Amino acid sequence: MKILANDGIAQSGIKALENAGFEVLTTTVAQEQLQNFINENEIAGLLVRSATQVRKDLIDNCPNLRLIGRGGVGMDNIDVEYAEKKGLFVINTPEASSSSVAELVFAHLFGGVRYLHDANRNMPLEGDSNFKKLKKSYGSGTELRGKTLGIIGFGRIGQATAKIALGIGMKVIYHDPYLEKASIEVPFFDGQAVTFNFESQTKEELVSTSDFITLHVPAQKNYVLGKEEFELMKPGVGIINAARGGVLDEVALVDALENGNVIFAGLDVYESEPKPEIRILMHPNISMTPHIGAATGEAQSRIGIELAEQIITLLK
């Protein structure tokens, strides 16, 4: 039985699948050629990340396809309900990348409060000629400890982010319309653990009281943070979006950065991805990464194994 990992899969997943008798193809097939490739090679399982689209026409025209797998959490590039109605298995890996995304959130947060994203641009250019000026420019940083982190979306990634925040001494609040209450256990290296209990706040309460706000929601029809929400925020707030492009109004964000209400932003995803707007790319107060939230060796290995285990269970 053949599995096509069109957007790649870690060696751990390939090995597990091959040991179970599957043939794994890792050819990257262009979207317009995907249907023919699946049919000509009698592909039973199609694995994707965020690049490949699996829409109704592909599902309808690939009768041999039995399973669609997403290496990650969000499945907005797959017509999930339609595929399931047609009898296909649709799987994802909701736990495997949580820690990696949460750590990237804090990479942006730590960098933002100490201006590292801008210092790293200017030190190579002016470090030898304007050292004292740069030192003064970047000498008014802020500590994260003791500040309030507002988390919008309190699923696995949101909770993994909360654990890091609690570990460094931040206050955590969250908003999630689907989760009224939550308990989080924060484990430590020596086997000890501390449990924290939370209740969801309204979005208005969260955006008006948080020092930093991070988004962890699936793709939405409307902005989660738009002009109205930015107007409610405390002056000097920091914003992180490592969820999905389009959940944050980037025009409203730039306006808030320009008027000083938002002090910095960290973006891993973009409204016009894969071609972010020039106003975003050139802004000195935005820390940017190219959609790499789950792109760690550890996460990709876990994703590969988690996909393989589900495929073996469902198709064998």
Reported as a single tens digit per residue, the pLDDT across 47-104 is 998 889 999 999 999 999 999 999 988 788 999 999 999 999 999 998 899 999 999 9
Reported as a single tens digit per residue, the pLDDT across 182-194 is 999 999 999 999 9
Q: Is pLDDT above 90 for 176?
A: yes
The confidence score (pLDDT) of residue 247 equals 97
User: Domain spans of the chain?
Assistant: 2-93+297-315, 98-288
**Catalytic, out of 244, 250, 302, 306:** 244
The β-bridge partners of 185 are 195
The β-bridge partners of 265 are 239, 286
Reported as a single tens digit per residue, the pLDDT across 199-210 is 999 999 999 999
Same fold, 2-93+297-315 and 98-288: yes
The confidence score (pLDDT) of residue 72 equals 85
Q: Is pLDDT above 90 for 214?
A: yes
Answer yes or no: are the C-beta atoms of 156 and 95 closer than 8 Å.
yes
The confidence score (pLDDT) of residue 76 equals 86
Reported as a single tens digit per residue, the pLDDT across 243-278 is 999 999 999 999 999 999 999 999 999 999 999 999
Residue 216 is a catalytic residue: no
**From residue 84, how far is each of 7, 49, 71, 101, 192 by CA, in Å?**
21, 18, 18, 28, 42
pTM of the model: 0.89
C-alpha span between 85 and 42 (Å, rounded): 21
Residue type, 85: K
In this prediction, residue 316 has a pLDDT band, given cuts at 50, 70 and 90, of confident
Residue 121 is a catalytic residue: no
Round the average pLDDT of the chain to a whole number and report it: 96
C-alpha span between 182 and 174 (Å, rounded): 10
Residue 244 is a catalytic residue: yes
- Assign a CATH topology to domain 2-93+297-315: Rossmann fold (3.40.50)
Q: Is pLDDT above 90 for 148?
A: yes
Mean of the pLDDT values across residues 147-169?
97
Q: Show the 3-state SS of 245-274.
A: CCCECHHHHHHHHHCCCEEEEEECCCCCCC
C-alpha span between 201 and 181 (Å, rounded): 10
Answer yes or no: are the C-beta atoms of 275 and 250 closer than 8 Å.
no
**Catalytic, out of 117, 291, 302, 306:** 291
In this prediction, residue 38 has a pLDDT band, given cuts at 50, 70 and 90, of very high
**Catalytic, out of 205, 273, 277, 309:** 273
The confidence score (pLDDT) of residue 313 equals 96
Q: Is pLDDT above 90 for 178?
A: yes
The confidence score (pLDDT) of residue 99 equals 95
Q: Is pLDDT above 90 for 292?
A: yes
CATH number of the domain at 98-288, out of 3.90.79.10, 2.70.98.60, 3.10.180.10, 3.40.50.720? 3.40.50.720
The confidence score (pLDDT) of residue 105 equals 98
Mean of the pLDDT values across residues 229-251?
96
